[in-house]
């Protein structure tokens, strides 16, 4: 069944295997999305410059320019959502990909239906987090300011570049500042119950956020409760 929400979205599929590109193009097209393809990292970057998509499905292991390098270049200039494709034995690459700013990953061999589900979840851009937050106005927590309408995160007035998933996660925590969320609860709120994401994925996104805000003095952005989970920190920053 076609998702009406997805019909306006353009997806770039990047993989050196033409069969994988064909299968994913068919599955995403059947879900109502527009697709384009690239067979390597260089072609992907050229396609993104020419016709910016709404999301990139990006294989990690490719000739010429691999997926991790493509991600590095994209993150240097923006927050285009990225879903990585990786081989089953590439655990290190998957973790590195998330730490570079990937939003999620799927392990080969995969079900096309799973890829469509994960693409759709990323594209909904925090719908579940916004439902939890209630009113859709700006969320302010001391030096942290989140604007869901503009998809903008600021620390003490300075804009911080975050990915879609990082914004979703931060908005969820900041909207319920007294609540401690387990990793499973974070996954359920952002993606829906039963969505298959590992704890390591959530931890990688938390590390990314701490690094980005920590460079501006936001070392108390997110608090860890050992054995329980995470909640938003005091967000007061380093003392002057």
Q: Write out pLDDT tens, residues 3-48.
A: 444 457 999 999 999 999 999 999 999 999 999 999 999 999 999 9
More confident residue, 203 or 240: 203
Task: State residue 19's pLDDT score.
Answer: 96
Task: State residue 22's pLDDT score.
Answer: 96
Q: Is the pLDDT of residue 129 over 70?
A: no
Q: Is the pLDDT of residue 221 over 90?
A: yes
Task: State residue 199's pLDDT score.
Answer: 61
> What burial letters (b/e) apply to 68-78, b meaning 16+ CB within 10 Å?
bbbbeebbeee
Task: State residue 88's pLDDT score.
Answer: 63
More confident residue, 137 or 63: 63
Q: Give residue-wise pLDDT tens across range 144-178.
A: 999 988 888 999 999 998 887 888 899 999 999 99
DSSP tally for the chain: helices H, then strands E: 9, 11
β-pair type (222-225, 158-160): unpaired
Task: State residue 240's pLDDT score.
Answer: 43
Which burial class, exposed, middle or buried, applies to 7 when counting CB atoms under 10 A from its CB (0-12, 13-18, 19+)? exposed
Q: Do 235 and 142 meet the contact criterion of CB atoms below 8 Å apart?
A: yes
Task: State residue 198's pLDDT score.
Answer: 59
**Domains defined for the chain, CATH in brackets:** 4-123 (3.40.50.2300), 127-232 (1.10.10.10)
Q: Is the pLDDT of residue 59 over 90?
A: yes
Whole-model pTM: value is: 0.65
Task: State residue 1's pLDDT score.
Answer: 41
Q: Give residue-wise pLDDT tens across range 66-118.
A: 999 999 899 887 778 899 998 866 677 777 787 788 888 888 889 999 999 88
pLDDT category at 181 given cuts 50, 70, 90 is very high
Q: Is the pLDDT of residue 126 over 70?
A: no
Q: Do 32 and 7 meet the contact criterion of CB atoms below 8 Å apart?
A: yes
Residues 6+ apart with CB under 8 A from 119: 11, 28, 33, 55, 57, 83
Q: Which stretches within the chain are classed as H helix?
A: 18-30, 41-50, 67-75, 91-100, 112-123, 127-133, 164-175, 183-191, 199-214
Q: How far apart are CA 100 and CA 85, in angstroms?
A: 14
């Amino acid at each position: 069944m076609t998702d009406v929400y997805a019909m306006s979205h353009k997806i770039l599929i990047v993989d050196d295997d033409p069969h994988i590109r064909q299968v994913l193009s068919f599955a995403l097209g059947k879900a109502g999305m527009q697709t384009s393809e690239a067979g390597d990292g260089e072609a992907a970057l050229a396609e993104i410059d020419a016709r910016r998509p709404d999301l990139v499905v990006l294989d990690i292991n490719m000739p010429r320019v691999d997926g991790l390098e493509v991600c590095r270049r994209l993150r240097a200039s923006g927050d285009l959502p990225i879903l990585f494709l990786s081989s089953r034995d590439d655990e290190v690459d998957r973790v590195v990909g998330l730490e570079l700013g990937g939003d999620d990953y799927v392990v080969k061999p995969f079900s096309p239906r799973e890829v469509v589900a994960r693409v759709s979840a990323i594209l909904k851009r925090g719908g579940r987090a916004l439902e939890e937050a209630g009113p859709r106005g700006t969320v302010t927590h001391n030096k942290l300011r989140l604007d869901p309408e503009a998809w903008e995160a600021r620390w003490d007035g300075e804009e911080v570049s975050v990915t879609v998933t990082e914004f979703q996660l931060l908005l969820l925590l900041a909207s319920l500042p007294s609540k401690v969320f387990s990793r499973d609860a974070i996954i359920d709120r952002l993606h829906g119950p039963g969505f298959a994401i590992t704890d390591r994925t959530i931890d990688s996104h938390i590390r990314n956020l701490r690094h980005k805000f920590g460079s501006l003095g936001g070392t108390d952005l997110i608090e860890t409760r050992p054995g329980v989970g995470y909640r938003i920190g005091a967000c007061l920053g380093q003392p002057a």
